[in-house]
Chain A
Amino acid sequence: MHELYIAECIVKSVNSSLPRNVAPTLVTQVRVQVGQLDAVVPETLKFSFDAIKQSCGMPRAELLIKEIAVRCRCRDCAHEFGIDLPVFICPACNRGDVEVLQGRGITLTRIIADEPEGETHGNTSYS
């Protein structure tokens, strides 16, 4: 169950990505991309995030997870290919020296938050 740990990492990432005037309570949506090679179960990650968001001061945040398929490049013949099964063999030359281009890692891609109070009319100061 490393999804709970990853959910905590997502919260930390969100917190440190928010502009100073945007409180975590204003966050309504958090989008992440999860590689298919990562052993992360999206439902479990979402469940974990929902379980901690209240105590992390982001009660309204909804986590949206996009899974990223695995794409590889053959180091022998430079052929690029996607895989559905965990078989890292180049379909062009049948060799296995294969580099993973995509489908590994967890990336925070977008945060959606309500406008901070008193700043809805731009940042104009009336004082």
Chain B
Amino acid sequence: MEIPVIRDVLEESNALAKENRAAFDRHGVFVVNIMSSPGSGKTTLLQKTIPILKARGISCAVIEGDVSSTLDSERLAPLGIPVIQANTEPFGGDCHLGSHMVQAALKYLDLPSIEILFIENIGNLVCPAEFYLGENRKVMMLSLTEGEDKPTKYPLMFRECQVCLLSKMDLAPHLDINLDLLESNIQKVNSAMRILPISAKTGEGLMAWLDWLVNER
């Protein structure tokens, strides 16, 4: 027998994401899903960003995605904000955060007291792009050492995100990277992408990033 169906395979995953979003909206939490290759600088950027937001009276929290370790959470602990570690290992060691994992993490967060929730996704330029978690904005980071060809090689990530943070700008003088080529490659894949060059090390571009966050909220 043939059973014809037309069904989105990620239906259940998306339904959970919508539940997450409803909870965020109910409590006025602005949620940013940050994605990149391993080591582009996601945790370092959060270490720089959150103290400034805190000083401006904006309360933050972080869901830290990692396959198994708690190293990134430990780095964020001194910030004195809620940091929930979401490890995919008990869920099968996935290379991306799933909406069910965000939902599990929400049990440990007091949403009414949070204004901006950052989700640091698992370091991976492919898999996290596929899955909606309930976030308001998807932001990706590409460090200058990764090369100009990445938009063409990982188009889904560049299509899905509203902002591309070009990180480690302080390294530009030491690299052969052609920034114009990189920007034009990004625009070929996503002409609406907002490109923000930053360096967590020197502080370059941090204010533009903060302005974006505060304005989008």
Contact B12 A39 (CB under 8 A): no
Interface presence of B78 (CB below 8 A): no
Contact A5 B152 (CB under 8 A): no
Contact B4 A2 (CB under 8 A): no
Residues of chain A in range 17-49 having any CB-CB distance to chain B below 8 Å: 17-19, 22, 32, 37-40
Measured CB to CB, the closest approach of chain A to B160, in angstroms, equals 9
Contact B130 A2 (CB under 8 A): yes
Measured CB to CB, the closest approach of chain B to A52, in angstroms, equals 10
CA distance A95 to B187 in the complex (A): 10
Query: Per DSSP, are chain B's interface residues mostly helix, strand or loop, or mixed?
Result: mixed
CA distance A32 to B7 in the complex (A): 9
Number of A-B pairs whose CB atoms are under 8 Å? 107
**Residues of B within 8 Å of A, CB-based: how many?**
35
CA distance A40 to B95 in the complex (A): 13
Kindly name the residue among A4, A96, A112 whose own CB sees the greatest number of chain B CB atoms within 10 A. A96
CA distance A5 to B98 in the complex (A): 9
Contact A1 B156 (CB under 8 A): no
Q: Please, what's the 1-or-0 string for A1-23, where 1 marks a CB less than 8 Å from any CB in chain B?
A: 11011100110110001110010
Contact B3 A88 (CB under 8 A): no
Q: Please, what's the 1-or-0 string for A81-99, where 1 marks a CB less than 8 Å from any CB in chain B?
A: 0000111110000011110
Contact B2 A39 (CB under 8 A): no
CA distance A10 to B7 in the complex (A): 10
Contact A95 B9 (CB under 8 A): no
CA distance A115 to B2 in the complex (A): 9
With A2-B95, A4-B92, A88-B188 as contacts: A110 and B5 at CB distance below 8 Å:
yes
With A37-B155, A39-B129 as contacts: A87 and B188 at CB distance below 8 Å:
yes
Interface presence of B55 (CB below 8 A): no
Binds A, one of B24-32, B189-197, B206-214: B189-197
Contact A2 B96 (CB under 8 A): yes
Contact A39 B130 (CB under 8 A): yes
Additional 18 contacts, C-beta under 8 A, given A9-B9, A40-B130: A2-B127, A6-B9, A6-B10, A13-B7, A13-B9, A39-B126, A86-B152, A86-B155, A86-B188, A88-B159, A96-B187, A96-B191, A105-B10, A106-B9, A107-B6, A107-B9, A111-B2, A113-B3
